[in-house]
Amino acid sequence: MSFRDDHELHKRRLGRNVGLALVLAGFIAIVFGLTVVKVTRGDYEPENAKVAN
Amino acid sequence: MSDASVNSQADFKEASFGDYFALLKPRVMSLVVFTALVGLLAAPNSVHPFVAFASILFIAVGGGASGALNMWWDADIDAVMKRTQSRPIPAGKVTRDEAFAVGITLSAFACIMLALASNLFAGALLAFTIFFYVVIYTMWLKRWTPQNIVIGGAAGAFPPMIGWAVATGGVSIESVLMFTLTFMWTPPHFWALCLFMKSDYKDAGVPMLHVTHGRRATRKHILVYTILLAIVAIGMAFTGVGGPIYLTTALILNGLFLAGAVSIWRRDEATAEADSYKREKSFFGLSLLYLFLHFGAILAEATLAPYGLGGW
């Protein structure tokens, strides 16, 4: 039994989907990282929030 | 999906991930990243490394988004010019509507995320930069006046100001000077390119200076703008972002750049044609190094300042 090679179009679509998945995963990591930095730095403490506004 | 439908769709040049990435003009994005990073690091306030990383990334995405909107609007011009014929839209890989969707979505995303990551002013300045590049330069100036890249060059000059704004939340004389350096550098850089790109802009009907006023006038303009650029670049050495490293770099580079501009000014078309625009091409190459090393020197001054080595 043999498997046929993927069509070039399928390979391109897979590449696009993997690329988009990596971008979304990266975005989640950045939002998480920013949240950690801002919370640990105390940006959202009531007194800091008042200064920021 | 049947094999028949796959084969029929394969005739269309369906885009790969890299084609969508190419819409963001990665080479221009690298300049945006570098100058914005220098602006951020040269600022007197320190920024958390992760916030700095995220901010530079969002500035890069904003810059890339404006590139996608530029390709959306200029698809007709890009299809005519040899230099741009392989871009995703004229190559038939991405449709104009897709480029518009990518550009507008990423623009909004980048501005909002930059405002959230750093401050509202930086986000607003990024939004203004995108507006300036897409609406003022691409839609209005580019097809209307030979001063298109003089005024439109402002769009490419904003990134160091945005980087500075990320750190300080505002504008200062130093950030305006970094803006002015790139702003004054853009005309001689592009006009040198125009001189050896021959008929590309003329074929596309873009009123570049050499198309409307001739090559002699363009050579004269390159010299005048290079002199003005040298005054700004060397003058910057005596401000808060300058120092001995910057002054030495600026003196050497502006000497070389002025010599190149004088050489271009003195040449006629017959001489330039005879050696395949060798001087114009080397001047263009030097212009890339010029901007990179000036901002590199500003970065060196800022990085070495805590050790008592940078600045005056």
Condensed to tens digits (0 to 9), the pLDDT of residues B192-239 reads 998 888 677 888 888 888 888 988 999 999 999 999 999 999 999 999
pLDDT tens per residue, range B107-129: 999 999 999 999 999 999 999 99
Query: Given pLDDT bands bounded at 50, 70 and 90, which one contains residue B306?
Result: confident
| Region B282-292 average pLDDT | 96
- Does residue B1 surpass a pLDDT of 50? no
Q: Cα–Cα distances in Å, from A33 out to B45, B46, B49, B202?
A: 21, 18, 11, 49
Contact partners, residue B271, CB within 8 Å, separation at least 6: none
* B139 within 8 A of B63, measured Cβ to Cβ: no
Confirm or reject contact between A19 and chain B (CB < 8 A): yes
User: How many angstroms away from the CA of A2 is the closest CA of chain B?
Assistant: 17
Relative orientation angle of helices B120-131 and B49-73, to the nearest 10 degrees: 20
* B160 within 8 A of B38, measured Cβ to Cβ: yes
Q: Tell me, what's the pLDDT at B206?
A: 85
Q: Cα–Cα distances in Å, from B168 out to B41, B45, B53, B101, B177?
A: 11, 6, 16, 32, 16
| Region B2-12 average pLDDT | 47
More confident position, A3 or A32: A32
- Decide: helix, strand or coil at residue B248: helix
Asked if B9 and A9 come within 8 Å (Cβ–Cβ), the reply is: yes
- Which chain B residues are Cβ-neighbours of A41 within 8 angstroms? 48
Q: Cα-atom radius of gyration of chain A, to the nearest Å?
A: 22
Query: Given pLDDT bands bounded at 50, 70 and 90, which one contains residue A48?
Result: low
pLDDT tens per residue, range B33-44: 999 999 999 999
Q: Tell me, what's the pLDDT at A51?
A: 52
Query: Given pLDDT bands bounded at 50, 70 and 90, which one contains residue A49?
Result: low
Asked if A9 and B51 come within 8 Å (Cβ–Cβ), the reply is: no
Q: Tell me, what's the pLDDT at B2?
A: 46
- Does residue B57 surpass a pLDDT of 50? yes
Q: How far apart are CA A19 and CA B179, in angstroms?
A: 34
| Region B100-104 average pLDDT | 98
More confident position, A19 or B7: A19
Ranges A46-50, B8-12, B285-289, B301-305: which has the least confidence: B8-12
Q: Which percentage of chain B shows pLDDT scores above 90?
A: 76
| Region B50-77 average pLDDT | 97
Q: How far apart are CA B312 and CA B239, in angstroms?
A: 9
- Which chain A residues are Cβ-neighbours of B51 within 8 angstroms? 34, 37
DSSP states of chain A? --PPPPPHHHHHHHHHHHHHHHHHHHHHHHHHHHHHHHHHHTTTSHHHHHHH-
- Which chain B residues are Cβ-neighbours of A28 within 8 angstroms? none
* B59 within 8 A of B114, measured Cβ to Cβ: yes
Q: How far apart are CA B271 and CA B113, in angstroms?
A: 52
- CA dihedral sign of residues B138, B186, B225, B192: negative
- CA dihedral sign of residues B82, B84, B90, B96: negative
Q: How far apart are CA B243 and CA B300, in angstroms?
A: 10
Q: Tell me, what's the pLDDT at B6?
A: 46
- The rounded mean pLDDT for chain B is 92
- Which chain A residues are Cβ-neighbours of B61 within 8 angstroms? none
Structure tokens at B213: 């006023």
Tokens 């004229």 found at: B90
- Taking residue B271's Cβ as centre, other Cβ atoms within 10 Å add up to 12
* B55 within 8 A of B47, measured Cβ to Cβ: yes
